[in-house]
Every structure is written in structure tokens, then in C-alpha cells.
């Protein structure tokens, strides 16, 4: 399979979906917002975007199955699976605040081989494929060169419905507040990971994430020279609902600190 050619076609789909979403910015009424949880929202735009993506990707690779956030398809695939977050940052979208991202990844035998993240406010498309370099709008990107957590700008995502690890998480934040260049939370894991890939952030960690939140961004980071794992340093981040990502130089140091706080028993919901 020509991953590069397929990735180029996915970039087009992601940008077209971003244009569709952009057309509804500041157009969503309160009665058009549904709650999936206390702070977990969905709109008809999320579902419409996903349906558009599924239709386009099905034409590209008919044999592939899907893992999607909004569950608009249950199609399975033997070797290939598309992993889709049609609108990452729904709360941001509802409030008209950036970033809002479209995230599309292709798994081959459960391993990411294509990753595309399109952030529509800044019109930035991050992408990579297995064996490639990583790119932002056709320019090559690389992770930062920071070597110490104390010199790092760290990104994270706040828990919004699973609070079973909130106490160690808050302890980790307290540590990073006082032992780094700062902590940022922007509301889109796909954008966070992409910003690590291009060196805007030096590191990222979060728990209770889903495959569609991280599959594309994680591949882009790896192809940009970074490293990704779960909180134990293992490769199961895609389905283990936790992720650590950074440039390769600071990774071990950063992972040590994250693990010190976050390696406790977690619920699996």
C-alpha cells in the first residue's frame, strides 16, 4: 500500500471536514447540544462531520473498518481500521474557542500507519505516515530539543467525567507547576499532540483518553522524532486510556515524573 498517496487523500478529507465544521461556528443553539456526560457534549455537527468522513474513507479503502467517537458506523475490518475523531474539542466549538481539530488515523494490524490532524481555526494540517517525516502544511516539522522537564512547556487535558485519579493528577500538576516552564490545557488532545510534534510544546500527558483522541497525533509525534507510551513506558497507550508524549531527549525524565504520580489502579470506563 502507498501510505503517502493515501495520506494525501486523507488530508483533503480532513480539510473538507474542517470547512464543514467551520460553517457552523457560533451557529449552535443551546437546544442543539446533547450531553453524553456532565461535561461531555455532542452536536449534530460532530455527527454530520463523522458521517462525511466515513463515507469518504469507505470509498478510499473499502476493506477497512472503523473506530469512531460518535458511533455512526459499526463496520469492521480484518487488517485495516480507520480511527476517527470528527470534532476534537466540542466544548471549544460550542463556545467558539480554539482549537478544534479533525483527527483521522489508519491502523494496520492495530498499529498506526497514517495520521492526520487538521486544526481549523489556524488552518493547520499536521500529518505523517509510516516511514515518512512529519509535516505541517507541507513543511517538515520536528519535536523540540529540550532535555530536562524543568525546561519543558507541558500540555495536559483535564478530566471531565472520570475523576477516579483526580488526586494523583492534581499532585502531578502541582509538581509540574513548580518544576517546569508551565502547564497548558487547550481542550483538544489531537492539537496538543500535534503541537508536541512541531515543538510548540515539549511534553504531554493525560488519562482517560480514547483511541480516536490519540492515534493520529501519536504517529505524527513519532515520525517527528518523538516518543509515546502509556504511564508505565509501554506501547499500549492506544487502548490503555493514558498517554505520555514528548521529544526523545526529555522523554525518560518526563515519564519518570508522570509515572511517580499516575501509576495507580484505574477504573476501565
Query: Any idea where the domains of the chain sit in the sequence?
Result: 3-141, 149-262
Pairing of strands 203-207, 153-156: parallel
Predicted pLDDT of residue 269 = 28
pLDDT reported for residue 264: 59
Say what the pLDDT of residue 36 is: 58
Let me know if domain 149-262 sits in CATH 1.10.3720.10.
no
**Helices in 86-162 by DSSP H: which ranges?**
90-95
The larger pLDDT score, comparing residue 50 to residue 25, is at 50
Give the model's pLDDT for residue 34. Answer: 73
Residues 194-217 have a mean pLDDT of 97
At 165 the pLDDT is 81
| Percent above pLDDT 90 for the chain | 85
For cell 460550542, name the residue: 94
Model confidence pLDDT, tens digit, residues 82-132: 999 999 999 999 999 999 999 999 999 999 999 999 999 999 999 999 999
Query: Hey, which bits of the chain come out as E strands?
Result: 33-37, 40-43, 65-68, 80-88, 101-108, 111-119, 124-129, 134-136, 139-141, 153-156, 182-184, 203-207, 226-229, 242-247
Is the domain 3-141 a CATH 3.40.718.10 member? no
Hey, do 3-141 and 149-262 end up sharing a CATH topology, with the first three levels equal? Answer: no
The residue-averaged pLDDT of 50-54 equals 97
**Can you name the residues that pair with 246 across neighbouring β-strands?**
203, 227
The answer to whether 90 and 74 have CB atoms below 8 angstroms apart is no
Distance CA 53, CA 75 (A): 14
pLDDT of res. 41: 66
Per-residue confidence at 267, pLDDT binned at 50, 70, 90?
A: very low
| Enclosing H/E stretch for 161 | none
String of DSSP letters for 205-254: EEES--HHHHHHHHHHHHHTTEEEE-TTS-STHHHHTEEEEEETTTHHHH
Q: Copy the grid coordinates of residue 202.
A: 515539549
The whole-chain average pLDDT of the chain stands at: 93
Is the bond leading into 146 cis (omega within 30 degrees of zero)? no
Lowest-confidence range among 70-79, 161-170, 202-211? 161-170
**pTM of the model as a whole:** 0.93
Model pLDDT, residue 43: 85
Tell me what pLDDT residue 35 has: 64
pLDDT for the residue numbered 133: 98
CA–CA distance, 230 with 241 (Å, rounded to integer): 8
Q: Is the pLDDT of residue 193 over 80?
A: yes
Distance of CA 186 to the CA centre of its chain: 12
Q: Identify which of 68, 17, 64, 7 has the alpha carbon closest to the alpha carbon of residue 45.
A: 17
Q: Is-contact 227 240, C-beta < 8 A?
A: no
Amino acid at each position: 500500500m502507498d501510505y503517502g498517496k493515501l495520506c494525501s487523500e486523507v488530508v483533503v478529507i480532513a480539510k473538507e471536514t474542517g470547512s464543514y465544521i467551520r460553517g457552523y461556528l457560533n451557529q449552535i443553539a443551546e437546544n442543539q447540544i446533547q450531553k453524553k456526560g456532565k461535561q461531555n457534549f455532542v452536536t449534530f455537527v460532530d455527527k454530520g462531520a463523522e458521517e462525511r468522513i466515513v463515507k469518504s474513507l469507505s470509498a478510499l479503502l473499502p476493506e477497512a473498518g472503523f473506530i469512531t467517537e460518535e458511533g455512526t458506523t459499526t463496520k469492521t475490518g480484518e487488517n485495516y481500521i480507520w480511527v476517527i475523531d470528527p470534532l476534537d474539542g466540542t466544548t471549544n466549538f460550542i463556545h467558539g474557542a480554539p482549537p478544534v481539530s479533525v483527527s483521522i488515523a489508519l491502523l494496520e494490524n492495530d498499529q498506526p500507519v497514517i495520521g492526520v490532524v487538521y486544526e481549523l481555526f489556524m488552518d493547520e494540517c499536521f500529518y505523517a505516515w509510516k516511514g515518512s517525516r512529519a509535516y505541517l502544511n507541507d513543511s517538515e516539522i520536528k519535536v523540540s530539543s529540550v532535555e530536562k522537564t524543568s525546561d519543558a512547556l507541558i500540555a495536559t487535558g483535564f478530566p471531565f467525567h472520570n475523576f477516579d485519579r483526580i488526586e494523583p493528577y492534581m499532585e502531578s500538576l502541582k509538581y509540574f507547576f513548580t518544576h517546569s516552564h508551565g502547564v497548558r490545557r487547550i481542550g483538544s488532545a489531537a492539537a496538543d499532540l500535534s503541537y508536541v510534534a512541531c515543538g510548540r510544546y515539549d511534553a504531554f500527558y493525560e488519562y482517560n483518553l480514547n483511541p480516536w483522541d490519540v492515534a493520529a497525533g501519536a504517529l505524527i509525534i513519532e515520525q517527528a522524532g518523538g516518543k509515546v507510551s502509556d504511564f508505565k513506558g509501554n506501547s499500549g497507550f492506544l487502548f490503555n486510556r493514558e498517554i505520555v508524549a514528548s521529544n526523545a531527549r526529555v522523554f525518560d525524565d518526563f515519564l519518570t515524573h508522570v509515572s511517580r504520580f499516575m501509576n495507580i489502579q484505574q477504573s476501565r470506563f
